[in-house]
Every structure is written in structure tokens, then in C-alpha cells.
Amino acid sequence: MKMIRHNLAIRFTHWVTALSIFVLLFTGFGQMPMYRRYNVDTLPGLKWSSDFLITLNIHYIAAAILIFISLYYLAYLLFTKRWDILPKKGDVKESLIIMAAMVGLAKEPDNDKFLAEQRLAFAVTAFSVLILIITGLLKVYKNLPMVSFSAKTIFWLAQLHNLFTFILLFSIIIHLLAFLYKDNRFLVPSMFTGKISRSYVEQRHKLWLARIEGEQVPANVVVEVLDDNINTVAKEENEEIIEEIDDIMEKTNEAEGIEL
């Protein structure tokens, strides 16, 4: 049986982020003047890569897409209050245990939706993206006519932007290397289809499963499930039943102190 791990909004966020960062990295390195020197522009289809104006324009467009998707994701987190991806206290220690477990030196702890090391990696990646967006926007701003920054500011903006490019690149490489470890590979298809096998979740993400299917199932989930089941019932009956269910739910929730 399959379970939903990543909804469409998350898959959209992930792939738009990945694509825009890939384009930003390629065109950003193109600003370094290196594609002509290292003959990248002699490769088929890459003649444009050594044209700074082309790569700069693409860099700006991809940056706009990255800013769009970053704000989309930030607002998504704020609106839905799903903080599973953010690091928690004790994550550093727990990641060390997970890494020890990878080589058979420890038993892997029960995981929530994300592993402790995933939460930490997310923090590093997100922080790098944040610094890159801020320094990048300032770099764009300073290049507008009539805007001037001090030599020192310009120097440090460039250094920070370049440094965090390498940190981000490093974190992406780690992210991809994680899939060398077999257990992690089960997660890959879920970023495409959104679904993951239930048995895998039962084995590795007990805390997550308990959270979404635990004893304290939020009332609205029950209503949705029931909603689906009664789709086939005639419309009038349907409404009657919904009213009945609502009544029951209200009473149960009141008794249990759950807010709808």
C-alpha cells in the first residue's frame, strides 16, 4: 500500500527550486569568466555560455524564479504550520547516531517525517539560499544606474555571494550523495509521484505515522474520510448524513476537548 509523502505543492517547490538553482549555478559560474577559457563554449549547443550578457540575463530570470518559489515555500510553511522540516533540539546528536547506524554501529532511531540529518541539511541549504538571495538582490541593485555602494560593501557582497554559492553546491552534492545509501533510495520516487510505500514508513518513520494516524486523529480528517465514502450516496441522504456526522463529531470533540 502506498502513502502520500509529498503533496503537489511540495513537489512543485522542490523541482522548481532544483531547476532554478541548477540554472543559477551554471550561469553564475559563467560570470566567473571560465567557459571560454575552459572551452565549455566549444561544446555543442553551449556556444552562448561564454556570452556574459546572455548568462547574466538568464541568471536574473532564474533568480526571480528562485525568489518566487522561496517565498511561496515560506508562505506555505507559515500558512499550513507544517514545521516537520525544521531542525529540532538534539538533531545534531541524532544525525550522528543515524550516520553510525548507516555503517552498522548503532540502531537507527525512530524517525519523524524527516530524518534529523535531513532537517539539518535543510537548514544549511535554506540559509545558503537566503544569503544568496539577499546578496544577489543587493548586487542587482548596485548595478542599476545612479546607485553606488562603497568599494568595501561591493567587495564583501561578492565574497559572500561566492562563498555561499560553494556552500550551497556542497550541500547539494551531500544531498545527492545521500542516495548512495540504499535505505534512502526508497525516498526518491516520492519526490516524483508524491507517494511512498506504507511498509517503508512503518519501518523507518514510525513517529510520522503515529502523528498522522495516531489516536488523536484531528476531527477534520475523519470528516474528510467520511466525505469520500459517502460520495456515492444520494445527494439528499448525503446532506442528512453530513449533518448527523457533524453533530456527532461536535459532541465527541467537545467531550475530548478538540477544537475544530
Partner 1 sequence: MAITRRMFLKRGALSGVAAASIVTGSKKAAASITATDEYGSIIDLTKCDGCINYDRPFCLAACKDKNKDNFPEPEKPIMDYWPQTKHEDWSDKRDLTDRLTPYNWIYVQHLEVEYQGKKIQVHVPRRCMHCDNPACAGLCPFGVNNKMPEGPVIIDTDICMGGAKCRDVCPWEIPQRQAGVGLYKKIAPKFAGGGVMYKCDMCYDLILKGEEPACVGVCPQNAIMFGPKKEMQEYARNWAKTNQGYIYGDVENGGTSTFYLSSLPFTAINKAIKEQEVDGKPGRPTMEVGIENYLEEPASLAKGLVIAPLAGVMAAGLTAYKIMQGGAGDEDDQA
Distance from C-alpha of 20 to C-alpha of 12, rounded to nearest angstrom: 12
Nearer to partner 1 by Cβ, of 39 and 199: the residue is 39
Neighbouring residues of 169: CB distance < 8 A, sequence distance ≥ 6: 25
Minimal distance, residue 233 CB to partner 1, in Å? 17
Nearer to partner 1 by Cβ, of 69 and 95: the residue is 69
The one-character DSSP state at 48 is G
Chain positions 189 to 218 lying near partner 1, rule: CB under 8 A, are 194, 212-213, 218
Nearer to partner 1 by Cβ, of 229 and 252: the residue is 229
Distances (CA, A) of 43 to 21, 38, 53, 167, 230: 22, 10, 19, 28, 60
Residue selected from 63, 98, 115, 168 as contacting partner 1 according to rule CB under 8 A: 63
Distance from C-alpha of 135 to C-alpha of 105, rounded to nearest angstrom: 42
Residue selected from 18, 25, 97, 154 as contacting partner 1 according to rule CB under 8 A: 154
Nearer to partner 1 by Cβ, of 36 and 101: the residue is 36
The one-character DSSP state at 51 is -
# of chain residues touching partner 1 (CB under 8 A)? 63
Q: Which residue's C-alpha cell is 529540532?
A: 88
Question: Which among 142, 135, 127 has a CA at the least distance from the CA of 162?
Answer: 135
Quick check: helix, strand or coil at residue 2?
strand
Q: Is 48 in the site for partner 1 (CB under 8 A)?
A: no
Residue selected from 18, 46, 65, 120 as contacting partner 1 according to rule CB under 8 A: 65
Residues that bind partner 1 (CB under 8 A): 3-9, 31-34, 37-39, 52-53, 56-57, 60-61, 63-65, 67-76, 79-80, 113, 137, 140-146, 148, 151, 154-159, 162, 194, 212-213, 218, 220-221, 224-225, 227-228
